């Protein structure tokens, strides 16, 4: 016999009705089902008539003219519901196992044909495939922007075709919201901020029609915060990221709290509050598990060094980098190693070690010129500042013209090329100076934050 305390917190009628309609999250559904299975006759009287099994029982009772209590006739309802949920979970598990094969089949085709297949064949309208497309889009967001965009577009197409009657309408809206947010994130990384904003608006509308799962809301808040940051609406980015952090705290998701603090620190730094940024990233390092998530730990340590550098705490920044060097090297990511080298160069310039700074900037410039022209331009500007600081103004023109050739060999935004033309014109007037170089660097840095290449 269950104790009275187990029946004190009855689900309200609305929650029970949503449960019977399949309109709850898996975690909420398990909680309600556990309550129903605890012999709570009061709640089973509510759910009984709402279940397909209960409706059949009531019809049979009415036909027979029996007077037995509804609860007796639907005593098997909870067990039947449990089996129904188990069948649904098994089906989704099978779909997840099958999803990689479905994706491989799609990837044999050109992207326009993939979209046609998804739109015209129900074989691809599965929960498992929609989830996999969302996850893969996020995973490739830095190494392959075009693949990220295509996967996100497919995720939206698949999610929009999921049957709410099969999976539950609230759960389907959650997944659709996630897919639209991922598509918005892909567009943001491609510098289409207007398109990204439209996708995020759609994601938020779907989220309002979803289950209310705090983790779903938190993830979308984080992606929306990144968009607002790229749009230079930094205060909104801070508020959205703070909302995500509160939601992760509500469900006691420690790892996600740490990651959320790393991003929140970056937005506070953009807003000019570097003291809070430093405090947040130091706190984040207490939350993130270095063995389970070394990439987030590395991002946190790198950002901490940047914030310390920007605050004039150069020796502390150098100490942080020295402590993180083994992590940079063990992860072996080329871009992260270049970011380390770049920051070391900036710190060396600040403390007057110009030969070390020059060597670092030249290496970073050569490496970034291959794939990341705006980053290459920023490294070149750092090198130009070293030349001005050491009285080698005569070497600056070659840098300016060299980067312009890099720009013209890549597809870069008009805004980036326009910024560089300002430098070329100043060079022609023999009016190139520190302040102008730093101003152009700031304009290019904003483009880099938007994901422009």
* pLDDT at res. 183: 97
What pLDDT was estimated at residue 178? 97
Using left for φ > 0, alpha for ψ between -120 and 50, and beta otherwise, residue 192 falls in: beta
Nearest Cα to Cα of residue 133 among 111, 411, 218, 235: 111
How many C-beta neighbours within 10 Å does residue 91 have? Answer: 15
Collect the ranges in the chain with pLDDT lower than 50: 1-8, 51-62, 64, 66-75
Give residue 59's pLDDT. Answer: 47
Token pair of 452, please? 């422009």
HEC string of 178-238? HHHHHHHHHHHHCCCHHHHHHHHHHHHHHHHCCCCCHHHHHHHHHHHHHHHHHCCCHHHHH
DSSP string, 301-365: HHHHHHHHHHTT-HHHHHHHHHHHHHHHHHH--HHHHHHHHHHHHHHHHHTT-HHHHHHHHHHHH
Alpha carbons 290 and 258: distance in angstroms, whole number? 11
Residues 6+ apart with CB under 8 A from 32: 11, 15, 16, 19, 24
For residue 93, give every residue at least 6 positions away whose Cβ sits within 8 Å of its Cβ, in sequence order, or none.
none
Give the other-Cβ count within 10 Å of 370's Cβ: 10
The pLDDT of residue 6: 39
pLDDT at 21: 64
**pLDDT, position 76:** 52
Can you tell me the distance from the alpha carbon of 84 to that of 82, in angstroms, rounded to the nearest whole number? 5
Cα–Cα distances in Å, from 417 out to 28, 362, 373, 376, 410? 53, 21, 11, 13, 11
Q: What is the pLDDT of residue 191?
A: 82
Q: What's the rounded Cα separation, in Å, for the pair 171 and 22? A: 9
pLDDT, tens only, 380-394: 999 999 999 999 989
3-class secondary structure, 31: helix
List pLDDT tens digits, range 422-432.
888 888 888 88
End-to-end CA gap in the chain? 66
Task: Give the integer Cα–Cα distance in Å for 62 and 42.
Answer: 22
Q: How confident is the model at residue 72, as a pLDDT?
A: 46
pLDDT per residue as tens digits for the range 156-202: 999 999 988 888 888 899 999 999 999 999 999 888 999 999 999 99
pTM of this prediction?
A: 0.76
Kind and range of the H or E run holding 53:
helix 52-64
């Amino acid at each position: 016999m269950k104790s009275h305390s187990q029946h004190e917190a009855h689900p309200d009628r609305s929650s029970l009705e949503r449960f019977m309609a399949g309109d709850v999250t898996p975690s909420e559904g398990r909680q309600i089902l556990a309550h129903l299975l605890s012999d709570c006759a009061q709640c089973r009287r509510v759910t009984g008539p709402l279940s397909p099994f209960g409706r059949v029982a009531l019809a049979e009772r009415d036909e027979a003219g029996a007077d037995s209590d509804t609860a007796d006739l639907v005593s098997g309802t909870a067990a039947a519901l449990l089996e129904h949920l188990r069948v649904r979970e098994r089906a989704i598990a099978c779909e997840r196992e099958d999803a990689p094969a479905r994706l491989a089949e799609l990837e044999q085709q050109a992207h326009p044909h993939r979209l046609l297949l998804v739109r015209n064949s129900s074989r691809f309208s599965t929960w498992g495939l929609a989830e996999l497309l969302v996850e893969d889009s996020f995973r490739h967001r830095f190494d392959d922007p075009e693949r990220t965009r295509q996967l996100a577009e497919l995720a939206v197409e698949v999610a929009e075709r999921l049957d709410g009657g099969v999976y539950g309408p609230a759960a389907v809206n959650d997944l659709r919201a996630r897919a639209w947010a991922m598509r918005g994130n892909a567009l943001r990384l491609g510098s289409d901020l207007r398109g990204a904003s439209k996708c995020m608006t759609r994601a938020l509308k779907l989220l309002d029609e979803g289950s209310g799962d705090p983790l779903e809301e938190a993830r979308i808040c984080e992606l929306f915060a990144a968009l607002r940051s790229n749009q230079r609406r930094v205060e909104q980015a801070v508020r959205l990221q703070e909302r995500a952090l509160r939601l992760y705290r509500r469900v006691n998701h420690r790892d996600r709290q740490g990651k959320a603090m790393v991003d929140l620190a970056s937005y506070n730094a953009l807003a000019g509050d570097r003291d809070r940024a430093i405090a947040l990233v130091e706190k984040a390092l207490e939350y993130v598990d270095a063995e389970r998530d070394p990439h987030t730990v590395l991002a946190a340590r790198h950002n901490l060094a940047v914030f310390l550098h920007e605050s004039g705490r150069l020796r502390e920044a150098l100490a942080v980098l020295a402590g993180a060097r083994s992590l940079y090297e063990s992860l072996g990511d080329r871009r992260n190693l270049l970011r380390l080298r770049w920051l070391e160069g900036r710190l060396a310039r600040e403390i007057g070690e110009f030969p070390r700074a020059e060597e670092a900037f030249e290496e970073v410039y050569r490496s970034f010129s291959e794939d990341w022209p705006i980053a290459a331009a920023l490294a070149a500007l750092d090198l130009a500042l070293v030349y001005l600081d050491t009285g080698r103004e005569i070497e600056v023109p070659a840098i300016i013209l060299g980067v312009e050739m890099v720009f013209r060999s890549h597809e870069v935004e008009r805004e980036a090329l326009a910024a560089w033309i300002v430098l070329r014109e100043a060079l022609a007037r023999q009016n190139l100076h520190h302040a102008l170089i730093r101003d152009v660097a700031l304009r290019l840095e904003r483009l880099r934050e938007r994901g422009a290449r």
